[in-house]
Structure 1
């Protein structure tokens, strides 16, 4: 399935950024954030019944016009990172917009082999690597022969976390569908609350493939029925072991994360001949979870991490309810600690100290395993209606980082899509785990 770029252009804000907004100080969280780009993809079938006759050329024009308009609200996305200072030069240089023709149909892609699907997804928006010398935002409009389209969006992680990225997508879709006056503006105050500082240096957590260890990514779908059964199995495990685990603690995300974690522990045991300690890095959106005056619509990186630990016991058995409990307790303890911070400086130091602990754990993988989770559940991914209906599938580009697990909502909002990246030999063991097979499709 060939993808050919047919045009490239720059989309600039529809009105110039005012002089007093042309220099934006980045926050300390953005300053020490990861440097890669985060791509996401929105697939739309050719469905004229819902939205009337809008051909793809008209869709692309509407996207460009509304993107230009929404960049007046998200003006840093049209700027460039300064190479000398911790700030964004909001100079209206623009976001890059590409158009591409896909040789094939959308249905072919959606039912294709998983490896082909993951390879193709990484061609629906150009790969970006350097946030200093590249535009913060790149969009690619992909046309399929059947009339379906895929919108690829890539934003530098130095400017956004998942909350901010989907805030932008929602605002852009709203502007395209109903007009810019309906789009909600973001707040760019994080840089004032958490000014940049040089006291902390965190290693890059991305663990990419090397010439000797091929990374394989597979998709595992937990539908609503499977998740209901999984949560029941967690409760039953707790009862069998005379443990108390309130139902409200057994959320679908925690249950699925615990199941995947247990399968990874079993794979490690098979590879090393013994059960090893392990840690999972679990993300927490910190908006609304601190005592600091942080605007709810803050754009930028404002996430923390919980790091639940597993230590092997004498029984040599991993009980799923214990892993659910560890995930729940880890999140609650992290939030409880952060709530004690009385100033932005104290809060930032607490978060960075947690980052450092995780950083140290990643340097000790000879003795323990570390799995990096990223959770996009409950974000409005499937609400991205640009005027021709909601997407039939939303996905994130697959990146070759080992021991990484990405969790998404299914389209109905009740299930979970899990994209798991492991070394090839480990994936062969992982996908044969009987408990994993019992709950996935």
Structure 2
């Protein structure tokens, strides 16, 4: 029988004191230039906040960690000069670019009055963790755009000697694999002495340019063209409706995952853990949409984030640094999602990425060249299962836990691995209260209705954020 396990309410105020809020510049002078952004880069104008927690290390007190990270940042910003730049709109082309002007990245040092033990379960979707990866700098830095650099790194110490490294990164700069490589390089430069980079990044994003002339060879229902006011220039910004949300982490153990795979089994078909978990999440989200489930014509579209590096011809260089991702879509009527065999739904989800070939991806890029569009779907699932942020080795060791921080997006679910390598899968879900109630009910009923003995847990207690709090905390950045 599936269980919903709740812990104590999340601690929403970590009693943070900000000790430093500054800009870090490249260690050496870099070339002033305009940095090309692909059409895919330009549709991802929103921030991804993440946080990694580290146990206390007597050889590396938080002050030394801050010093090492600041110097490491200065070093990596020499080759990663675009991260220290600022976004600008090219008035001639209407395209967003990065002005590599060495304006700097944000660097924040802070401390909390609590120990990690007092904060509790680090897997908790804790609103307080937003204080560990701030989106703006607190000092009055002129000009104004310097107060909101696209990349901010924060080191926060706890009274037990443990500390957190938070990053608030505009997605335009890096996708998941690029961010992992950046973290590896940052860690490598935090060691004493002159160490080589862990990964030699490939920066030329023109490999993802549109063709001339553009050739749209497919229909692309996974994108839509928004109505923009006359005279609007630059890529569109897709904002979210502001509403109160609840946040929960739904944890699937290896026993639960094996049960899902067994339910999804088809002759001579390999079922991945991600596809099994993502299908259940999509089904629960679609059926939680509204009070009235009798709308037989309502269609739910599921978006699955797909890496393009090996799908293009020729393949992109493995260390390609940029957004080499697209969304594969699966659509179905909600009444069918409720009635169809789970194995059939998993088959649909598993087959959708196969559609994203080299020609399909090029067609999307060309469509975005003609139409300033945005992703279009009810729910997007982004997998961090193979990114390996928890495996990055700093001089003070690996993270005790690493994962996404809750934000205002209710249309994206982040799936990330368990920090203790037990094979569990965690899904961070953000929904309004009534939808969360129905989501949780469908999630648990899926297991109990089939007499499964697995123990499925939704951790921890719901936390809620109001629209006013969203504005106050600067969390209205749009996807």
Conserved? CA contact 1:215–1:422, under 8 Å:
yes
Moved more, 60-69 or 264-273: 264-273
The residue that corresponds to 1:279 in the other structure is 301
1:325 to 1:69, Cα distance in 2 relative to 1, 3 A: same
Find the aligned partners of 1:316 and 1:221 in 2 and give their Cα distance.
22
1:57 alignment partner in structure 2: 63
Matched, 1:97 2:102: no
Match of 2:203 among 183, 188, 191: 188
Q: Which moved more, 1:261-270 or 1:3-12?
A: 261-270
Which residue does the alignment assign to 2:456? 440
Would you tell me which structure has more helix in proportion to its own residues?
Answer: 1
Counterpart for residue 37 of structure 1: 47
Residues 103-114 of structure 1 mapped to structure 2, 5 A cutoff: 103-111=113-121, 114=124
TM-score (norm 1): 0.82
Q: Matched residues in 1 for 2:186 and 2:83: separation?
A: 12
Q: Is the 8 A contact 2:43 2:374 kept in 1?
A: no
TM-score (norm 2): 0.76
Q: CA shift at 1:166, angstroms?
A: 1.6
- Name the CA distance, whole Å, in 1 between partners of 2:374 and 2:135: 30
Is contact 1:262-1:318 (8 Å) kept?
A: no
Give, in whole Å, the separation in 2 of the partners of 1:113 and 1:303: 27
Q: 1:340 aligns with which of 345, 348, 359?
A: 359
Q: Is the 8 A contact 2:174 2:323 kept in 1?
A: yes
| Equivalence for 1:397 | 405
Specify the alignment match of 1:160 in structure 2.
174
Counting only pairs closer than 5 Å after superposition, residues 28-427 of structure 1 correspond to structure 2 as: 28-30=39-41, 32-48=42-58, 53-84=59-90, 86-111=96-121, 114=124, 117-128=125-136, 134-177=148-191, 179-191=194-206, 193-194=208-209, 202-203=225-226, 208-210=240-242, 213-235=243-265, 244-248=266-270, 250-268=271-289, 270-274=291-295, 276-292=298-314, 294-312=316-334, 317-333=339-355, 335=356, 338-340=357-359, 346=363, 348-349=365-366, 358-359=375-376, 370-411=378-419, 412=421, 414-427=423-436
Matching of residue 7 in structure 1 with residue 29 in structure 2: no
Partner of 1:25: 36
Which structure has more relative contact order (CA 8 Å, sep 6+)? It is 2
Deviation at 1:159, TM superposition (A): 1.8
CA distance in 2, matches of 1:300, 1:262: 31
RMSD (CA atoms): 3.2
Structure 1: segments with no counterpart, 5+ residues = 236-243, 363-369
Q: Distance in 1 between matches of 2:203 and 2:166?
A: 24
